[in-house]
């Protein structure tokens, strides 16, 4: 199971297959990581630094994190993709209605957001075929592509669908690297 959590300055990845339930995370930030709660991770419960330090103690790398860089990701199921946006306004002030156009670098918005990346898939009888992941060059190396892939992995798993990664980057993420 793959899950992505984003809040404020931090984006957290959880890969349940790597989790050995050592509970170092729970010890490090008990309000954030609560195995009795669903979802068991709530990034609103503690300061970013506490969460970050707890994640660093995870012995298996089931939990990892990156700085969010003021980027948010979301699923766009109608267009079979996940999308990354950067916003000049605080996330809480971002509203609706984004107008999409072809490609990664030409999206216009009505809500002060700019699209900076996307990850695309096709729905097939076999599952979600992920065939393309792209982030604008100036935003590479910040973990944004991984967040986009995790968004799709999470969506597929919630629908009980398999993921078939044609995109080499998505294959790498799926393999846990």
- Cα separation, 11 vs 7, in Å, equals 7
**1, 21, 56, 108: which one contacts ligand SF4 (CB under 6 A)?**
21
Q: Does 1 bind ligand SF4 (CB under 6 A)?
A: no
Q: Write out the DSSP string of 96-110.
A: S-EE--SSSS--EES
Rounded Cα gap, residues 46 and 168, in angstroms: 36
43 binding ligand SF4? (CB under 6 A): no
Q: Which of 11, 12, 41, 62 binds ligand SF4 (CB under 6 A)?
A: 62
Which structure tokens are listed for 13? 């990845």
State yes or no: residue 4 binds ligand SF4 (CB under 6 A).
Answer: no
- Total residues at interface with ligand SF4 (CB under 6 A): 11
As a whole number of angstroms, the distance between CA 104 and CA 41 comes to 31
Asked if 60 interacts with ligand SF4 (CB under 6 A), we say: yes
Q: Would you say 53 or 108 has its CB closer to ligand SF4?
A: 53
Tokens describing residue 3 = 């899950």
86 binds ligand SF4 (CB under 6 A): no
Residues 107, 116: Cα–Cα separation, whole Å: 9
Binding site residues, ligand SF4, CB under 6 A: 19-25, 58, 60, 62-63
């Amino acid at each position: 199971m793959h899950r992505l959590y984003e809040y404020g300055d931090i984006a957290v990845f959880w890969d349940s297959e790597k989790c050995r339930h050592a509970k170092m995370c729970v010890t490090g930030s008990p309000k954030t990581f609560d195995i009795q709660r669903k979802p068991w991770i709530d990034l609103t419960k503690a300061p970013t630094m506490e969460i970050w330090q707890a994640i660093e103690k995870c012995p298996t790398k089931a939990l990892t994190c990156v700085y969010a860089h003021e980027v948010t990701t979301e699923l766009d199921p109608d267009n079979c993709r996940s999308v990354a946006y950067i916003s000049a306004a605080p996330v809480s002030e971002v509203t609706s209605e984004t107008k999409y156009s072809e490609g990664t670098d030409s999206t216009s918005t009505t809500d002060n957001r700019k699209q900076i990346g996307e990850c695309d898939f096709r729905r097939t009888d076999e599952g979600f075929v992920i065939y393309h992941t792209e982030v604008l060059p100036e935003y590479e190396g910040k973990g944004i592509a991984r967040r986009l892939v995790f968004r799709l992995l999470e969506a597929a798993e919630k629908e009980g669908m398999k993921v078939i990664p044609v995109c080499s980057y998505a294959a790498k993420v799926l393999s846990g690297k």
